[in-house]
Amino acid sequence: MKYGMLCRAAVINYFWGQGTATPQSVNEQAALVAYEALEQANVCSDSMDLVPRPTYGAANVKWVVKQVAKIGKRVMSGDTAIYNACRGAVGVRYKSKLNEALMGIKHERM
């Protein structure tokens, strides 16, 4: 079994749950859907990095300055983590498309 096949199944199972795909079940169409979902999750996560975290009480200048610094730190760190909210949203959005791809039903790329 090839390493690439394992990796493609791992990406699919990350978004849609363990057991959704096996390395043998991942066809080219399913890999393309997984790639598209991963792209969208990264776009979402990059946007989330720019959102200030909640304040507990009234926001003051000190809080604003800290939030801007933390946002800058997240952007500069190049963190490649995907936020759970993004993973969930992308998982829901692409679930039917992935299931159809795993069954061999082809769609044009969005």
Query: Which residues, including other chains, have CB under 8 Å from residue 41's CB and lie 6 or more apart?
Result: 15, 82, 86, 87, 90
Cut 0.85: pTM above it: no
d(CA 38, CA 87): 9
Pairwise CA distance, residues 30 & 10, whole Å: 12
Q: What are the tens digits of pLDDT across the range 40-86?
A: 999 999 999 888 888 888 878 888 888 888 877 876 777 668 899 99
What are 3-26's pLDDT values in tens digits?
Answer: 778 888 999 999 999 999 999 999
Contact (Cβ atoms closer than 8 angstroms) between residue 38 and residue 16? no
Domain ranges of the chain: 3-51+82-102
Alpha-carbon torsion (31, 10, 17, 84), positive or negative: negative
